[in-house]
Structure 1
Amino acid sequence: MPENVNVERTRNYLRQIKGAVLYKGGAVAASFLAIPLMISYLGVAQFGIWSTLLTIMSWVVFFDLGVGNGLRNKVAESLAKNNSSEARNYISSAYSLIALVAVLLWLLFTYFSYSVSWQRIFNTELVAEEDLRSAVQVAITFMLINFWIGLVTALLGAVQRTALVSLGQLFTNVFALVAVYLLGVFSDASIIKLSWMYGVGLLGGNVFLSIWFFREYKGLIPAFKLRRDHVTPLLSVGIQFFVIQLAVLVVFATDKILITQLFGPEYVAEYEVVFKLFSIITFLHTMICSPLWSAYTDAYHRHDTAWIVRMLRAQLKLYSFVVVCLMGLVLLAPLVISIWIGHEFPVSISLVALVALFVAVTTWNNIFAVMLNGAGAIRVQLYTAITAMITNIPLAFLMVKFFGMGVGGIVLAATLSLLFSAVLLPLQVHRLLGGKAALI
């Protein structure tokens, strides 16, 4: 392994972290400032509806059949082998395939939208049925357009420029902050208007990134054609990622739906505020881990096991600091939330503690999942993800209905469903590295 390749990979990783600190920090700050403005603009109950709507919107990204993650791995692998022509063919096939899927999903959703009661789905009569339908239709339309344009984030990951993904998030969050402030000043509460503003901001960030990327990497501009010999490998890897993503959807994205159905949309607000507070830890940890995905891909295909082990050891040292931060945040959460949202906004300390435990487990899993994703060795993840997907919702009902745990029971159920991964993923990493991963 040439030493200059090893050193440059490490230097680029550190550069991406430095860039992400600035961009992600700004994005998180804008997101936090927007929460009290949204609650003030919409009210607690309508904010709960909006938060649930964002969850439904996020489901769209799971319909790419894992193509985005497969594209990231295949492009990174091709570039590691100095084969830019093959990388461009993968990009062309991915963009063409996702465009076709997005159009089909839009047609299907438009038909579906007029066949269901959105008031029933959101468990509310606070917003008129037609207004809910319009808000969802606007939001999903923007999400599906972004579904296609957003492939650029996979490409930025593949070329190890993940800090720019955070720049796109900064643009989106700052736009949303300004938009909700202006809506609060000049408009009555309207989820439809908020959907428009949020959609424009979401799209704008990825349009900016796409223009930059294809100017910087002109040789990778897609030709918009489907090639079976490139679609098949994308889907072969992608389907496994898709199942994992589907499991993530069940574990991470159904909580708000369950809370809405079991307790009412007003209870989503407390859950959202507590999770948003602890997302500081999640965002910072993801910011550090995410650039490693394609760096691991590069190192793995160059057989640089020593570098991979060194990075994993560094991540485990960082994790001990994450745990300390989580414990500190549990103690400070009531004070922080009272200052941030207001004294009249009560939070349960048990919910705070359970969210902290959930974040501790997810960050632990992420350390090993990123390495396995980069290497394309995701079979164990696939099995543990399916197990989590099957057990999460039954566990949630058990915690709520049998043990009477309230909203915290839903969080605990999600945490328990992730314990399979917490045990098996480190063992898979150890096996993959030939027993060289004596990490601690």
Structure 2
Amino acid sequence: MIVTSITAMAMFADLGLGNGLLTRLAAAAATRDFAKAKSLISTAYVALGGIALLLLAIIWLVLPALDWTHFTRASNDLDPGAIELVAGLCLSAFAITIPLSLVQRVQYAFQEAWKSNVWQVAGSALTVLTVYAAAFLGLGYGAIIAAAVFSSPAVILINNVIYYALEHRELTPTFRDASSGTVASLLRVGLAFFFLSILTSLSLNVDNLILANVSDLETVSEFSVTTKLFSLLALAITLVALPLWPANGDALARGDTDWVRRATKTMMLLSVGAVGIGGVILVFGRDFITSLWLGNGHTISLTLAVSLVLWSIVMAFASPYFSVQNSAGLLRYQFVGWTLFALLSVPLKFMSYSLFGLPGIPLAGVVAYVTFIVPAALLGYRATMRRAATSGRA
């Protein structure tokens, strides 16, 4: 789980090119400018493919040189070689996914979000099946971890092949269509998202690292399993936020601020409602689900479950407002909010854990989110709408 947290924190390794591609590609998709779209897509794939190869080289050069015995102090049962293998598999899967996941941005930009969602569901299902198969066949921890981290990238690869080779040959990325000028254009848009991604990734994925420093492996595992279950609620948030991004960009470009206001309010209510209903189901069914998932004897405390649902609800509320800001490239309010959150939520989580135990960590996150992030979402949304209205009158 520590390795997983590190990879989640490192999602900014694409230098913001993924988000830059989505913003620029949405405009090209709206005008059906396939030549420009292909140039943007090709450039993004070549650039991120190069980053992925560099990361893979660094991973397998650096890992053998690290002292893995440091991690065995928490448990005498841990083998340094096993830790190195797990880290290598997880980090390699992460690096490979960076360029492959661009297809999801392309599908969202062309209003084909449902395709991306179907493939993500398929990736999750394949992960479950392959992990169970590796465990059932007794293939060992290496095969189990490999099944867990490489199944989803394998499905994303299939998505890439089918999308570009069969469905949209006019968008198939090539080296010939990549250009340094297009890289510069994408980076101008993407670098702001890059720095914002650093803030959000570090802020949202630090919990396991905090626990690893203040508790034992059993507690870290309990928290990780619980958060993995309740992370299902984030799916509702993602399903709302990403499709709104290109749709808002298109509407704001046309000056249709009324549509943006209606869509934002509707999606906020839909997102909060979906997360709330899903949260109630998970809270009441948590022990039944974990017994099916992990076997008898595993339970989740009510306070931890409720605190994780509250955390998802506040994120669901803010997400549609951030989508409007992202579509217009107005990020300064988010920078302020996430900077304050990153600086103050970590000490607050340490203190809250000492007072309330495991539920204190997500509860501290809720308090910090409501204090800093929700105001940034609302103020940034209003500023974006004012700017769009002014541009429309001009």
**TM-score, normalization by structure 1:** 0.80
8 Å CA contact 1:88–1:220 kept in 2: the answer is yes
C-alpha deviations, 1:343-392, integer Å up to 9, x for none?
52232222222212211111112121122222222221122222222223
Say if 2:359 is the partner of 1:377: no
Corresponding residue for residue 426 of structure 1: 378
| CA shift for structure 1 position 121 | 4.8
| CA shift for structure 1 position 256 | 1.3
Corresponding residue for residue 408 of structure 1: 359
8 Å CA contact 1:80–1:301 kept in 2: the answer is no
Q: Distance in 1 between matches of 2:182 and 2:92?
A: 28
8 Å CA contact 2:272–2:317 kept in 1: the answer is no
C-alpha deviations, 1:159-189, integer Å up to 9, x for none?
1111122222222222222212222222165
Choose 388-397 or 114-123, whichever is displaced more.
Answer: 114-123
Corresponding residue for residue 308 of structure 1: 260
How has the CA–CA distance of structure 1 residues 412 and 223 changed in structure 2, closer, same or farther, with 3 Å as cutoff? Answer: same
| CA shift for structure 1 position 319 | 4.7
SS in 2 for 1:347: coil
Query: Counterpart of 2:85 in structure 1: which amino acid?
Result: S
8 Å CA contact 1:240–1:379 kept in 2: the answer is no
SS in 2 for 1:114: helix
Choose 177-186 or 113-122, whichever is displaced more.
Answer: 113-122
Q: Note the 1:347-366 alignment, pairs <5 A.
A: 347-366=300-319
Among 127, 132, 143, the residue aligned to 2:78: 127
Q: Distance in 1 between matches of 2:286 and 2:29?
A: 48
Choose 329-338 or 231-240, whichever is displaced more.
Answer: 329-338
How has the CA–CA distance of structure 1 residues 406 and 120 changed in structure 2, closer, same or farther, with 3 Å as cutoff? Answer: farther
Q: Note the 1:48-63 alignment, pairs <5 A.
A: 51-63=1-13
8 Å CA contact 2:230–2:309 kept in 1: the answer is yes
Among 172, 180, 185, the residue aligned to 2:131: 180
8 Å CA contact 1:330–1:353 kept in 2: the answer is no
8 Å CA contact 2:275–2:312 kept in 1: the answer is no
How has the CA–CA distance of structure 1 residues 326 and 213 changed in structure 2, closer, same or farther, with 3 Å as cutoff? Answer: closer
Q: Note the 1:1-400 alignment, pairs <5 A.
A: 51-118=1-68, 120-121=70-71, 123-187=74-138, 189-190=140-141, 192-214=142-164, 215-224=166-175, 226-319=178-271, 321-322=273-274, 324-325=276-277, 328-329=280-281, 332-333=284-285, 335-337=287-289, 339-340=291-292, 341-342=294-295, 344-400=297-353
8 Å CA contact 1:243–1:386 kept in 2: the answer is no
Q: Distance in 2 between matches of 1:412 and 1:346?
A: 19
Identity of aligned residues (%): 22
CA RMSD of aligned residues (A): 2.6
Q: Distance in 1 between matches of 2:31 and 2:224?
A: 44
State how many pairs are aligned: 384
Q: Distance in 1 between matches of 2:126 and 2:282?
A: 30
SS in 2 for 1:290: helix
| CA shift for structure 1 position 114 | 2.5
Q: Which runs of 5+ in 1 are unaligned?
A: 1-50
How has the CA–CA distance of structure 1 residues 78 and 246 changed in structure 2, closer, same or farther, with 3 Å as cutoff? Answer: same
8 Å CA contact 2:34–2:170 kept in 1: the answer is yes
Query: Counterpart of 1:317 in structure 2: which amino acid?
Result: L
8 Å CA contact 1:66–1:238 kept in 2: the answer is yes
Q: Distance in 2 between matches of 1:242 and 1:361?
A: 23
Query: Counterpart of 2:304 in structure 1: which amino acid?
Result: L
Query: Counterpart of 1:300 in structure 2: which amino acid?
Result: L
How has the CA–CA distance of structure 1 residues 95 and 386 changed in structure 2, closer, same or farther, with 3 Å as cutoff? Answer: same
How has the CA–CA distance of structure 1 residues 63 and 291 changed in structure 2, closer, same or farther, with 3 Å as cutoff? Answer: same
| CA shift for structure 1 position 269 | 2.8
8 Å CA contact 1:333–1:352 kept in 2: the answer is no
Q: Distance in 1 between matches of 2:361 and 2:272?
A: 26
**TM-score, normalization by structure 2:** 0.88
8 Å CA contact 1:118–1:132 kept in 2: the answer is yes
Higher RCO structure (Cα 8 Å, ≥6 apart) = 1
Q: Distance in 1 between matches of 2:194 and 2:88?
A: 24
Q: Distance in 2 between matches of 1:187 and 1:384?
A: 48
Query: Counterpart of 2:312 in structure 1: which amino acid?
Result: V
Choose 121-130 or 61-70, whichever is displaced more.
Answer: 121-130
Choose 145-154 or 413-422, whichever is displaced more.
Answer: 413-422
Query: Counterpart of 1:151 in structure 2: which amino acid?
Result: L
How has the CA–CA distance of structure 1 residues 435 and 88 changed in structure 2, closer, same or farther, with 3 Å as cutoff? Answer: closer
C-alpha deviations, 1:232-254, integer Å up to 9, x for none?
22112211212222222222212
SS in 1 for 2:356: coil
8 Å CA contact 1:250–1:392 kept in 2: the answer is no
How has the CA–CA distance of structure 1 residues 125 and 280 changed in structure 2, closer, same or farther, with 3 Å as cutoff? Answer: same
8 Å CA contact 1:305–1:433 kept in 2: the answer is yes
